[in-house]
Amino acid sequence: QGTGPDNDIAICTRVRVARNLQGFPFSPRLDGTESERLYQFVVDRLSRPGLPVQLQIVDLQPVDELERSMLVERHLISRELATSERHTGVAVDAEESVAIMVNEEDHLRVQVFAPGLQPDEVWATTERLDDALMQRLPMAWSEEFGFLTSCPTNTGTGLRLSVMLHLPGLVWSEEIDKATNV
């Protein structure tokens, strides 16, 4: 993305949070009617004012393959969402730094991006957004396991933090050893 701290090495930072809603089967088990009902339920809640970011909701049903491919290239949706048979969508902010995929592997996949190496900033935005979503949506939660997800490896926090690195930049700056020994 070209800007942000340590942008010669870190292209961007991303936090992804997986969430499911109470009262609905996990996405892979949704039939067409349930998928539609979940989609409309989520869109209704995301459309209400008061979220920490303003979102534009894109219904992916009428979107053609080329436009879906462009959304995948911009990391706003996954390949799985682009090819899903379920009623899917994505809510995106104007800067494309926040994207909430609806009806992916989990009911919601919240992604927050920032240029360069900005894990604290990305986490702070994610936390504010996640807190606001939990006020609007009944999340699937277990005292024993935490947030319940379609894949057991995501259960608990449902959180994943990643940094896209420019490997030639790491070699050039002689930071490759430090990065590989973390």
With respect to residue 163, please indicate whether it lies within any of the assigned structural domains: yes
**Structural domain tally of the chain?**
1
CATH number at residue 74: 3.30.590.10
Per-residue pLDDT in tens (0 to 9) along the chain, 182 residues:
467 877 777 889 999 999 999 999 999 999 989 999 999 999 999 999 999 999 999 999 999 999 999 999 999 999 999 999 999 999 999 999 999 999 999 999 999 999 999 999 999 999 999 999 999 999 999 999 999 999 999 999 999 999 988 777 667 777 777 666 65
With respect to residue 106, please indicate whether it lies within any of the assigned structural domains: yes
With respect to residue 81, please indicate whether it lies within any of the assigned structural domains: yes
With respect to residue 123, please indicate whether it lies within any of the assigned structural domains: yes
Range of the domain at 159: 10-180
User: Which DSSP string do the residues of 104-143 spell out, in sequence order?
Assistant: SSSSEEEEEEEESS-HHHHHHHHHHHHHHHHHHS-B-EET
- Residue whose C-alpha is closest to residue 2's, from 164, 119, 179: 164
